């Protein structure tokens, strides 16, 4: 990252610029011992040839590691761009104050003993933040391992990682909430020959979060791929905007987000003071922005490595060339797991290839057998046919140890390099064993090498998903602004339905009847049978107390049912305020779904859709999305549940009205968006989806406002 590149970019925050590429730095708590936290960053910078000024601050010494040392921040001859803070926790506030007064724009706080420890830590951390903010100074940490920008020799970190070698040049930016993990990742990447010149560890992220660094990388012309490790999302707005920026910039965000499990969740909360959040919600947000979510360190590296080729095939099809039929089968299994198509070669091509080599399997996987050893032209002909006639967007070639043994290996690399040059939109991946030097030569030719064919196939599938995510870009659809004020206090079913109906949600035909005669009249007008339900703001779960009567078939039944419901309600909640009995047409057929809104403390209102009953209870087959979204997006959601077959008409039943479901879901999301913090949740359960063309109707509705919403809106 040179100054010119940065000037030309749209990176506007001077504090972040000072953090990522400072021209000078103060080290508060500087140590002469390169093994100590206050000594190691200086040592790294000296060894790496940092071109800026380093000002050690240590009142006990005149010189630190050969550099002139200063007594205090105030005593510095110039204002440094950034500062590294490595003093005990109780001294950090004072240090920040001094740095702020001096006009320093960014502080890297390595010290620990803040929100990650019980007791006073959280309050002390808040003081740090207040101090930094008062001075307009940005802060990384506290309790972080620091950061580095290898392109300018800036190493504000006390990691020991570089004892085994420096990071390599390249275009992958790393950001990690955990310092040890970030360091580990950088070492592994280096050992695999990957270039990660940037790594920021955010620790307690009192000020600067992972999201903000992702956003920085999204705008940084020196970064093509963003590798992120996340425990919990703290500032959803920043995070979401960062993911959107990366998607717009067509820069893959490859993310290991931990804390999925119960133990993991608990562990994440006790670590670096993060809120792990509801993983299901976070996962929905990551999917929304096309983040490549990975489950292991190897996968993180595999996907980031391949992504650095910047080839993200749309409608990805995989052609497999293999000297081992067995590995071809293995790759086919993985392609199916990943939903990646492996169409067969055109028949004419198959015929031609069989003429070249009668024992070949020319379909896909294409197997030119061990003959590849003896005839150098075979691999070339077969692979070219796959690219030009099979039209595969990705070609995975498995050559085992042949990929590394000259002269086969030399020819192979040359042939593939030529194909890649002629077809730069295709992804060429080789699986086999070879030396690191040879692998670097493949990399230099724009070809990827992954030893394990399974991991190669999975990473190729990830490239296709990235291509689709970049293609759809992020819909920035927003509804017309509207002001919506929810009533205070609990809402009855009838009130909830009326409110939702006003916002475009279709409610089953029904009528609230205060007396038995109007109930009979309503039932007659709907047609038989009808459903009767007690309506009271004091009774939330009416089914459990017998407050719903189904299949009421004639006038006499309406009369007796009406009385029965009133007596049951009084028995259940003696002083219940009864609004009456709801008479509704009992709908037949269709599929029961559920729809709702749940306010997430991190990401705000989330819409939920699923099928009713065991699909949700047992299978957890639901889809979530941040609100609001349009009908097109809603239909994608509805169709993304695993049990979508039920909606498309199982057991020769007609398909249901998915467009009507989508319309309702989108309108519900708009309602939730406008209601904002006033709304806690909406439950439409069931929503009956009738056969296509006949609509979808909410049969029950429960709206809960926030418990303190009355007070808030009353301000």
Contacting its own copies within 180-219 (CB under 8 A): 180-181, 183-184, 187-188, 191
Residue 53, strand partner residues:
24
C-alpha 559/C-alpha 581 separation (Å) is 11
Can you tell me which of 296, 485, 577, 620 binds its own copies, judged by CB under 8 A?
296
Nearer to its own copies, 253 or 520 (CB): 253
602 vs 144, 162, 244, 511, 626, CA distance in Å? 23, 36, 17, 39, 11
Sole window of 214-222, 319-327, 499-507, 556-564 interacting with its own copies (rule: CB under 8 A): 319-327
397 forms part of the interface with its own copies (CB under 8 A): no
Can you tell me which of 42, 92, 308, 335 binds its own copies, judged by CB under 8 A?
335
Structure tokens at 53: 């000024």
Can you tell me which of 71, 337, 556, 563 binds its own copies, judged by CB under 8 A?
337
C-alpha 289/C-alpha 232 separation (Å) is 17
Closest separation between CB of residue 313 and its own copies, Å? 18
Q: Which of residues 631-690 bind its own copies (CB under 8 A)?
A: 643, 645-646, 650-651
Q: Which of residues 545-574 bind its own copies (CB under 8 A)?
A: none
Can you tell me which of 10, 164, 575, 588 binds its own copies, judged by CB under 8 A?
164
29 forms part of the interface with its own copies (CB under 8 A): no
Can you tell me which of 363, 516, 545, 564 binds its own copies, judged by CB under 8 A?
363
Can you tell me which of 78, 134, 295, 351 binds its own copies, judged by CB under 8 A?
295
C-alpha 111/C-alpha 399 separation (Å) is 50
Structure tokens at 352: 């031609």
Can you tell me which of 207, 367, 493, 510 binds its own copies, judged by CB under 8 A?
367
665 vs 222, 276, 598, CA distance in Å? 41, 28, 13
Closest separation between CB of residue 205 and its own copies, Å? 13
Q: Which of residues 341-360 bind its own copies (CB under 8 A)?
A: 342, 358-359
298 forms part of the interface with its own copies (CB under 8 A): yes
160 forms part of the interface with its own copies (CB under 8 A): yes
Site string for its own copies, 408-447 (x = CB under 8 A): ------------------------xx--------------
CA count, 13 A, side-chain hemisphere, 298 = 7
Closest separation between CB of residue 113 and its own copies, Å? 7
112 forms part of the interface with its own copies (CB under 8 A): yes
Can you tell me which of 361, 394, 678, 705 binds its own copies, judged by CB under 8 A?
361
Structure tokens at 98: 């001094």
Sole window of 418-426, 436-444, 616-624, 674-682 interacting with its own copies (rule: CB under 8 A): 616-624
Task: Answer whether 475's CB lies under 8 Å from 288's CB.
Answer: no
48 forms part of the interface with its own copies (CB under 8 A): no
C-alpha 47/C-alpha 53 separation (Å) is 14
Q: Which of residues 220-239 bind its own copies (CB under 8 A)?
A: 229, 231
Helix axes 236-248, 210-219, angle to 10 degrees: 20
Task: Answer whether 106's CB lies under 8 Å from 139's CB.
Answer: yes
Nearer to its own copies, 323 or 656 (CB): 323
Sole window of 57-65, 281-289, 614-622, 630-638 interacting with its own copies (rule: CB under 8 A): 614-622
C-alpha 285/C-alpha 294 separation (Å) is 14
Task: Answer whether 369's CB lies under 8 Å from 323's CB.
Answer: yes
Closest separation between CB of residue 634 and its own copies, Å? 23
Sole window of 280-288, 291-299, 422-430, 558-566 interacting with its own copies (rule: CB under 8 A): 291-299
309 vs 64, 424, 454, CA distance in Å? 43, 10, 19
Q: Sign of dihedral through CA atoms 58, 61, 66, 69?
A: positive
Residue 429, strand partner residues:
396, 448
- At a CB cut-off of 8 Å and minimum separation 6, what does 707 contact? 680
Sole window of 134-142, 364-372, 490-498, 597-605 interacting with its own copies (rule: CB under 8 A): 364-372
Closest separation between CB of residue 714 and its own copies, Å? 40
Sole window of 367-375, 464-472, 488-496, 655-663 interacting with its own copies (rule: CB under 8 A): 367-375
Closest separation between CB of residue 320 and its own copies, Å? 9
Sequential DSSP letters for 33-61? -TTSTTTHHHHHHHHHT--SEEEEE-TT-
Site string for its own copies, 65-104 (x = CB under 8 A): ----------------------------------------
Can you tell me which of 88, 103, 136, 326 binds its own copies, judged by CB under 8 A?
326
Q: In 10 A of CB 451, how many CB atoms?
A: 14
Closest separation between CB of residue 407 and its own copies, Å? 11
Closest separation between CB of residue 569 and its own copies, Å? 22
Helix axes 297-307, 453-472, angle to 10 degrees: 60
271 forms part of the interface with its own copies (CB under 8 A): yes
Place of tokens 């009192």: 206
Residue 156, strand partner residues:
147
Structure tokens at 207: 């000020």
Closest separation between CB of residue 459 and its own copies, Å? 12
163 forms part of the interface with its own copies (CB under 8 A): yes
Can you tell me which of 126, 270, 436, 525 binds its own copies, judged by CB under 8 A?
270
Q: Which of residues 445-484 bind its own copies (CB under 8 A)?
A: 451-455
Q: What are phi and psi of 173, to 5 degrees?
A: -100, 130
Place of tokens 């803070």: 85
620 forms part of the interface with its own copies (CB under 8 A): no
Q: Which residues of 232-269 are buried (b: 16+ CB within 10 A; e: fewer)?
A: bbbbbebbbbbbbbbbebbbbbbbbbbbeeeeebeebb
**Which of 474, 489, 499, 528 has its CA nearest to residue 672?**
499
Can you tell me which of 48, 244, 275, 373 binds its own copies, judged by CB under 8 A?
373
Can you tell me which of 65, 95, 131, 176 binds its own copies, judged by CB under 8 A?
176
Closest separation between CB of residue 449 and its own copies, Å? 14
Closest separation between CB of residue 270 and its own copies, Å? 5
Residue 610, strand partner residues:
594, 622
Q: What are phi and psi of 125, to 5 degrees?
A: -65, -40
497 forms part of the interface with its own copies (CB under 8 A): no
CA count, 13 A, side-chain hemisphere, 194 = 30
Task: Answer whether 254's CB lies under 8 Å from 300's CB.
Answer: yes
CA count, 13 A, side-chain hemisphere, 410 = 2
Can you tell me which of 264, 446, 649, 691 binds its own copies, judged by CB under 8 A?
264
Q: What are phi and psi of 47, to 5 degrees?
A: -70, -35
Nearer to its own copies, 202 or 311 (CB): 202
39 forms part of the interface with its own copies (CB under 8 A): no
For β-strands 172-176 and 225-230, DSSP reports them as: parallel
# residues contacting its own copies (CB under 8 A): 88
Nearer to its own copies, 402 or 638 (CB): 402
């Amino acid at each position: 990252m040179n100054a010119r590149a940065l000037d030309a970019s749209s990176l506007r925050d001077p504090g972040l610029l000072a953090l990522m590429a400072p021209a000078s730095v103060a080290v508060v708590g500087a140590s002469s011992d390169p093994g100590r936290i206050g000594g190691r960053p200086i040592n790294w910078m000296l060894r790496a040839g940092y071109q800026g000024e380093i000002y050690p601050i240590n009142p006990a010494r005149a010189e630190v590691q050969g550099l002139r040392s200063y007594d205090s921040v105030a005593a510095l001859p110039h204002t440094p761009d950034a500062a590294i803070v490595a003093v005990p926790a109780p001294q950090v506030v004072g240090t920040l104050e001094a740095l702020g007064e001096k006009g320093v724009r960014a502080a890297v706080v390595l010290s620990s003993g803040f929100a990650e420890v019980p007791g006073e830590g959280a309050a002390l951390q808040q003081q740090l933040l207040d101090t930094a903010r008062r001075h307009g100074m940005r802060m990384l940490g506290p309790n972080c391992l620091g950061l580095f920008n290898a392109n300018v020799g800036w190493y504000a970190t006390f990691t020991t990682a570089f004892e085994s070698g420096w990071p390599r040049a390249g275009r992958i930016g790393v950001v990690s909430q955990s310092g040890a993990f970030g360091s580990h990742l950088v070492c592994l990447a280096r050992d695999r020959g990957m270039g990660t010149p940037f790594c920021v560890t955010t620790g307690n992220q009192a000020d600067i979060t992972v999201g903000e660094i992702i956003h920085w990388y999204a705008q940084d012309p020196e970064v093509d791929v963003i590798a992120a490790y996340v425990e919990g999302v703290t500032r959803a707005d920043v995070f979401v905007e960062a993911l959107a920026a990366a998607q717009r910039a067509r820069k893959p965000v490859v993310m290991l987000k931990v804390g999925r499990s119960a133990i993991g969740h608990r562990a994440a909360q006790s670590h670096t003071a993060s809120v792990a959040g509801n993983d299901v919600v976070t996962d929905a947000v990551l999917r929304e922005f096309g983040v490549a979510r990975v489950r292991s360190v190897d996968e993180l590296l595999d996907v980031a490595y391949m992504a650095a080729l910047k080839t993200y095939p749309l409608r990805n099809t995989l052609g497999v060339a293999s000297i081992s039929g067995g590995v071809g089968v293995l790759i086919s299994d993985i392609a199916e797991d990943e939903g990646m198509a492996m169409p067969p070669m055109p028949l004419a091509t198959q015929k031609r290839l069989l003429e070249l080599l009668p024992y070949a399997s020319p379909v896909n996987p294409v197997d030119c057998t061990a003959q590849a050893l003896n005839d150098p032209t075979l691999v070339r002909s077969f692979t070219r046919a796959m690219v030009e006639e099979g039209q595969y967007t990705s070609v995975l070639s498995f050559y085992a140890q042949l990929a590394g043994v000259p002269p086969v290996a030399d020819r192979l690399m040359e042939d593939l390099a030529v194909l890649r040059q002629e077809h730069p939109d295709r992804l060429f991946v080789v699986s086999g064993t070879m030396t690191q030097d040879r692998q670097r030569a493949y990399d230099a030719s724009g070809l990827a090498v992954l030893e394990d064919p399974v991991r190669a196939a999975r990473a190729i599938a990830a490239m296709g998903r990235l291509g689709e995510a970049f293609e759809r870009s992020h819909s920035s659809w927003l509804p017309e602004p509207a002001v919506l004020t929810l009533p205070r206090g609990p809402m009855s079913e009838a009130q909830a339905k009326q409110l939702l109906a006003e916002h475009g949600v279709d409610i089953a035909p029904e009528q609230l009847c205060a007396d038995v005669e109007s109930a009979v009249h309503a039932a007659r007008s709907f047609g038989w049978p009808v459903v009767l339900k007690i309506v009271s703001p004091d009774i939330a779960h009416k089914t459990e107390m017998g407050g719903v009567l189904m299949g009421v078939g004639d006038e006499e039944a309406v009369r007796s049912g009406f009385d029965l419901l009133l007596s049951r309600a009084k028995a259940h909640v003696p002083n219940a305020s009864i609004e009456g009995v709801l008479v509704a047409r009992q709908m037949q057929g269709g599929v029961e779904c559920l729809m709702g809104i749940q306010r997430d403390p991190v990401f705000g209102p989330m819409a939920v859709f699923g099928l009713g009953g065991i699909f949700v209870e047992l299978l957890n087959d639901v889809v979530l999305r941040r609100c609001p979204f349009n009908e097109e997006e809603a239909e994608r959601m509805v169709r993304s549940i695993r049990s979508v077959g039920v909606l498309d008409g199982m057991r020769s039943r007609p398909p249901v009205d998915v467009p009507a479901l989508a319309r309702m879901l989108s309108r519900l999301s708009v309602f939730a968006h406008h209601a904002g913090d006033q709304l806690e949740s909406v439950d439409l359960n069931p929503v009956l989806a009738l056969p296509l063309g006949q609509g979808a109707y909410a049969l029950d509705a429960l709206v809960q406002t926030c418990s303190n919403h009355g007070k808030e809106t009353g301000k």
